[in-house]
Structure 1
Amino acid sequence: MNVSIGGSAPFQPSLIDTVTPGVTVALIAGITLFLLNWGREWLTAHLKRKSDAEVLAFSLVNLFDTLISRCADVVDDPLHQDQKTQFWQSTTKTPDVIFPEHVIWSVFPKALQYKIRSMPNKIDVADRNISSLWEYGDGPPEFSDAFEERTWRYSWIGLEACRINDILAKKYGVPILDRGEWNPEARFMREIEKISKRREDEKANTLPQQDWMFSSTTMEELDERHSKLTADLGIAIKNRRPK
């Protein structure tokens, strides 16, 4: 039964009014399903990334523990004097770092990646500086500057390895190696401070070079003087020839 008031036509819902509720429900359901699937995939990837990072951190801590020990051997090298040549020689080899193959570095933040992956380059730079001093430094028999540079460089490398291990331990829960009373980090720092102070004192006691030791004459002025001197010399030689 249709009831009309005041002669108006009965209310007829439009097509939009009929379809909109169903579309809205379907849209909300689709968005909800998408978010649930995305959240599940994100959580799965996050947990896998965290697990991979923990495994890699454990491997790297073991590798850097070995590096720390080898650096300490270099820093505490007692040296040996060859009885024949009287030259002082090292008794320990400098360390190296070789990372495992197929490492997924992206599980670590970029800053941490750089700290870790730059270590082989730092060792290479250290060895090149030391080799240069062996050849062009103070020379035999003491090779004092080369041995000092060797100690200096590997104290810094060992200290860096200690700090990387601390980061990995705190961030990824890797247990720290129990070294007992031996504290390599403190040992490295003492050696760095000692060498730094000696170098600063040496620099402070070096006599300043006087300004008169350096010529401010430009190359153009030197060329002009050379040309004039050559011309004057030619005239002088010509005038001294017997007539």
Structure 2
Amino acid sequence: MWDFFASDMGKVALGGLIAISGQLLVFLLGWAKESRVSQKKRTSDAQHLGIRIVLALEKLLVDCVRAVNDPTFTDNEGYTRSMVPNPDFTLPQDGDYRSLPTGLMYEIMSLPNKLDAIKEGMSAANEYADPPEYEGYYLYREEHLSKLGLQILPLIESLCDKYKIPTPERSDYYDPKQNLLGHLARIADYYEKRQNAQKNARVDQV
């Protein structure tokens, strides 16, 4: 073998082999560099998308809490009206959501549909609610927006943890989780008392 490389033909072959090896090494080094740059860009893009989603989710959470705590008012005709509008929500349009874990991606991308379903339920509840208080409508609104807000909180936490994003700053006097849980507890207590009252009314009629 060494005799071959010592011959003129072998020297030519060895030179070609060295040239090819050099080109291959340059190619591999270039590919590795591009791969690192591409991976760094994908990571940066995913983190940027994560930040934008966190901000959008935090706004939706705040809007849910505001709607749930709507003080309402009575108009000139004696009807109960909302002072706080119902939440709207749009996800950031440009961004590769496939960079998110599958379960988290599904939960986040399904939020607009969930909010639309709640609004459809509110429209139906409003049609059947008794004026002037429209109690059925406001109970439905309070309950389902509270539940939606509680679903948003762990999504924000998961995104902040995955992409090393600081948790959104909140006032010491503002605890959305406890606030929303308090509303659900109040609603559950209201339904329980109403159910007991209806049972007692049936017993009295017997």
TM-score (norm: length of structure 2): 0.75
Which segments of 5 or more consecutive residues in structure 1 lack a partner in the other structure? 1-28, 208-243
Aligned match for 2:110, one of 114, 118, 122: 118
Aligned match for 1:61, one of 54, 58, 67: 54
Secondary structure at the aligned position of 1:199 is classed as: helix
Aligned match for 2:44, one of 46, 51, 67: 51
CA separation of 1:38 and 1:75: change in aligned 2, threshold 3 A: same
Say yes or no: does 1:170 pair with 2:154: no
Q: Partner of 2:152 in structure 1?
A: 161
Question: Is the helix fraction higher in 1 or 2?
Answer: 2
User: 1:200 Cα deviation (Å)?
Assistant: 4.6
Say yes or no: does 1:76 pair with 2:72: no
Aligned match for 2:79, one of 73, 80, 87: 87
User: 1:71 Cα deviation (Å)?
Assistant: 0.9
Q: Partner of 1:146 in structure 2?
A: 137
The code of the aligned residue for 1:90 comes to S
State how far apart, in whole Å, the 1-side matches of 2:107 and 2:114 are: 10
The code of the aligned residue for 2:93 comes to E
State how far apart, in whole Å, the 2-side matches of 1:192 and 1:35 are: 60
The number of residue pairs the alignment matches comes to: 183
State how far apart, in whole Å, the 2-side matches of 1:109 and 1:43 are: 22
User: 1:80 Cα deviation (Å)?
Assistant: 0.6
Q: Partner of 1:23 in structure 2?
A: none
State how far apart, in whole Å, the 1-side matches of 2:192 and 2:102 are: 35
Q: Partner of 1:128 in structure 2?
A: 120
Asked if structure 2 preserves the Cα contact closer than 8 Å seen for 1:52 and 1:107, the reply is no
> How much identity, in percent, do the aligned residues show?
29
Deviation string, structure 1 residues 46-96 (Cα, Å, up to 9, x no partner)? 433322211011111111121111111101101111122x11111111111
The code of the aligned residue for 2:111 comes to M
State how far apart, in whole Å, the 1-side matches of 2:113 and 2:194 are: 29
**Greater CA radius of gyration, 1 or 2?**
1
Q: Partner of 1:238 in structure 2?
A: none
Question: Which structure 2 residues correspond to residues 157-236 of structure 1 after superposition, within 5 A?
Answer: 157-181=148-172, 182-200=174-192, 202-203=194-195, 207=199
State how far apart, in whole Å, the 2-side matches of 1:92 and 1:134 are: 16
Q: Partner of 2:99 in structure 1?
A: 107
